Chains A and B, each alone.
Chain A
Amino acid sequence: MKKKVISVLVAATMVVSLFTACGSTSKDSAAADKTKTEDTAEASDKEAKDVSDLVIGEIEYAVVEDGGWAQAMHESMLAACKNLGIDTEKNLLTAEEIAEEDPSLIESTIEEMVDNGADIIFGCSTGYGAVLAEMQEEYPDVVFAQYENDIYENVVEFQIRGYEGEFLAGYLSALMNTESNQFGFCASMDEASVRTALNSYALGAKYGNPDATVQVLWADSWYDLDVEGQNAKTLIDNGIKYMGMEASSPAVPQTCEQNGAFCIGYNINMQPSAPKAVLTSFTWNFAPIFEEIMQQTADGTIKIDTDYYEGGDCAKLADFNADLVPADVQAKVNELKDKIASGEVSVYAGELKDDQGNVLVEEGQVMSDEDILAQDFFVSNVTGGKK
């Protein structure tokens, strides 16, 4: 009997750890090895073909209806295909729940896609890069693209200047919040991409209100409905009425709605989940990048060492909630968006200090892309940043 119980407990532990492993895969900064390939990145000498005939492979770490990252990616993919006349029923091969730490699964997925005639294979979450780079050598006729920044020379890499959208989100909150200088932020895990979202939200709030401070609360989990909701509730109980978020579920917006507070959704348009609380949402729009990669692949002009790091429409906010955001505020936010696009306003411009008082960027300078991507600081008006 004892043995049986122990074996059950062991089995249970194994399953739990399996799930935790899956759960924590989302956007860890996978320290992928830099593979040095001798491949000179030349334009592939494939013949041009009609773009609507392309077969696209899409590798996702979760199901595409996850209400978060994978869904944002997939919606971008569908939009790009639609614009180029690619039949998504026939020519878009989507593989869901491909664990990033399972190279053999990634490999077999890629092989199957190639067998099905894939012309481009998109790795839609961090962590596929190493395998993609390896497989590119085996299948040089296929274009591999990966969500990553400038690691591999034989893989097209793409990322988005998400900080532009989060900056606008912070600015919007500041315009809406006329009663106090306090703002909130519900964050998931302490990681560069999350810090980016938090810092740019705080800078945006400061741009709209020089006295703005942002209290952050951490869930220390990529997905925990109860803690996310409780964090939002705690912020509200501390008198905070406007908050940003970096979390994958509508728990924060729904908590705001129940308690008369407002927030900016994240990943996808969260307005349907909490129509009385979501002012707008920060969304990832990869469609313009995907379109360009697809078009160039069809034309045979693609360079496989290309790196995309796009802002503008790729990092825009979803449609404003017209019932909550007045037209003049909408206009002001759009105006700032144009200023960022034209280079008149720079999000990480000096003088910029961190929460310890150290100067991050000198007056008159702007932060380099590498530093923006690898944020290991909290800007001065964030309270509750990790030590």
Chain B
Amino acid sequence: MTLIISLLSGALVYAVSVMYAGIGETFSERAGIMNLGVEGIMLMGAVTGYMTAVSTQNLALAFLVVLFTGAVLGLVFAFLTVTLQSDQTVCGMAMLTFGTGLSGFLGKNVAGVAANLKFENIAIPFLSDIPVIGPILFQQNLLVYAMYFIVPIAMFYIYRTRYGLKLRALGENPAVLDAGGENVFAMRYGYIIFGSVMMAISGACVSLGSTNFWSSGMTAGKGWIAFALVAFSSWNPLYLTLGALLFGFISCLGSTLQIYLPNVPTEIYSALPYVATVIAFILATGNFRKKHTAQPESLAVPYDRESR
């Protein structure tokens, strides 16, 4: 039983660390902007948060710096893609290399330095005493708990509010919103910055959450997994949660199976997450199920008033 608990709680921690970025990217793409720089922004969030933690020993301040970093990078990306209408693929790649390189450079002085300051696991009274579920769901850190609220709020926002309706329209056909008197540019700026802030929090999950250190490039591809999960989940935060949990579960499954099924080559376990992804991808977005995917119609298309 302890093994199942550790497996599921490992999966949850893994899932949350990619879900912030995934939900951020979902909002960004719903608004019609594809941000390929997830990994770079995550690393920037991870390093600035960790640097602040080391130098000030103040976790709240570190978290604010993470948010601020995300916002600044989001603003830059929004300026490039919305105001200048540059190609989003190129800008995303630029963001990626910029973030990866700059974070490595900034972090030189804190690499290998222990902050000993992170989001500690807090057991919630009563709830954490529930057998099995308690230790899995209610002995986690604040970033995980916050996610319990973010997913339903995001779902409600996108599908049940007037703003959500506009957000969906923004990604499908921004000209309609424009004709309706909405400020397309301001809205896109807002969602890009929100998305980027969420990506930076994902970085904080890595450097100030489950593990507590900085090393260059430490997110090791999580940004790409988050990016892939968005399409995988059909731009739906709830499916994104399921996808992230599935991916986290299978990633962590290897260690348990190595003990109980020692005769299976471990490389098979390492390949499982990717096999599962391919299968789930086919089931979720395959043509045999739907005529068209949920991909926003105007994704990655800059909005230009003149050519509407």
Contact = CB atoms under 8 A, between A and B. Distances in A.
Interface stretch (B166-174, B184-192, B196-204, B247-255): B247-255
Contact of B221 (A19, A65, A218, A386): A19
B252 A230 contact: yes
A231 B267 CA distance: 15
Contacts of A215: 259
A231 B212 contact: no
Given A15-B93, A224-B220, A249-B218, A384 B104 contact: no
B93 A11 contact: yes
A12 B216 contact: no
B131 interface: no
Interface in A251-293: 251, 254, 258, 268, 272-273, 275
B3 A234 contact: yes
A66 B215 contact: yes
Contacts of A272: 112-114
Nearest to A224: B220
Interface string B222-249: 0010010000000000000000000010
A296 interface: no
B197 to A, nearest CB: 22
A226 B218 contact: no
A15 B218 CA distance: 16
A19 B251 CA distance: 19
B211 interface: yes
B10 A226 contact: yes
B45 interface: no
B96 A229 contact: no
Interface in A27-77: 62-63, 65-68, 71
A109 interface: no
B112 A226 contact: no
Nearest to B300: A4
A345 interface: no
A224 B297 CA distance: 36
B180 interface: no
Interface in A7-32: 7-8, 11-12, 15-16, 19-20, 23
Nearest to A4: B300
Contact of B89 (A11, A62, A237): A11
A303 interface: no
A229 B36 contact: no
Contacts of A11: 36, 89, 93
B266 interface: yes
A8 B36 contact: yes
A325 interface: no
Given A8-B34, A63-B104, A229 B211 contact: yes
Nearest to B4: A237
B108 interface: yes
Contact of B252 (A7, A226, A275): A226
B215 A234 contact: no
Given A221-B270, A224-B220, A254 B112 contact: no
A11 B246 CA distance: 26
A222 B105 CA distance: 22
A258 B121 contact: yes
B119 interface: no
A227 interface: yes
Interface in A172-231: 215, 217-218, 220-221, 223-227, 229-231
A127 interface: no
Contacts of A234: 3, 6-7, 255-256, 258-259
Contacts of A62: 216
B262 interface: yes
Contacts of A358: none
A275 B213 CA distance: 13
Contacts of A258: 121
B3 A237 contact: yes
Interface in B93-126: 93, 96, 104, 107-108, 111-114, 116, 121
B55 interface: no
Top 5 A-B residue pairs of the complex, sorted by shortest distance between their CB atoms = A65-B111, A272-B114, A234-B255, A220-B270, A67-B215
Interface of B: 2-3, 6-7, 10, 13-14, 17, 34, 36, 89, 93, 96, 104, 107-108, 111-114, 116, 121, 206, 210-213, 215-218, 220-221, 224, 227, 248, 251-252, 254-256, 258-259, 262-263, 265-267, 269-270, 295, 297, 299-301
27 contacts: A5-B300, A11-B93, A15-B96, A62-B216, A63-B108, A65-B107, A67-B112, A68-B215, A215-B259, A218-B266, A220-B269, A220-B270, A221-B270, A223-B220, A225-B220, A226-B10, A226-B210, A226-B251, A227-B254, A249-B211, A250-B211, A254-B211, A254-B212, A258-B121, A273-B212, A273-B213, A275-B114
Given A5-B295, A8-B89, A249-B218, 6 more contacts: A12-B36, A63-B104, A65-B112, A224-B220, A227-B254, A229-B210
